Amino acid sequence: MSNKTFDLKQLPIGITELLYSIQNEQEIVITNDNIPVARLTLLNPVTETRLPLDKTPQPGLNLGAMVMSDDFDRPLPDEFWLQNS
């Protein structure tokens, strides 16, 4: 694992670049006046996991499974809004 050191006051790159660097198995040491204050390392190896799909999802297989009331978009009565909590 290779190391890179950056001074906090002169940090030339942003967090995105720092995170990209540690994903490439580098360790970043951040110093403040040559005193190490932080070390960035990869917490867990990043591995891409793809689960194979047995078959492609089919839209419309559960038609009628959900029923919506005809008045679902009707405004709520004033009593609803004026209730005291």
* Structural tokens at position 36: 């190490």
| Predicted pLDDT at 70 | 92
- Does pTM surpass 0.75? no
Q: What is the mean pLDDT of the chain?
A: 79
Q: Which domains does the chain have, with CATH numbers?
A: 2-40 (3.40.1620)
* Structural tokens at position 24: 């490439």
Tell me 36's DSSP state: E
Cα dihedral across residues 9, 14, 15, 20: positive or negative: negative
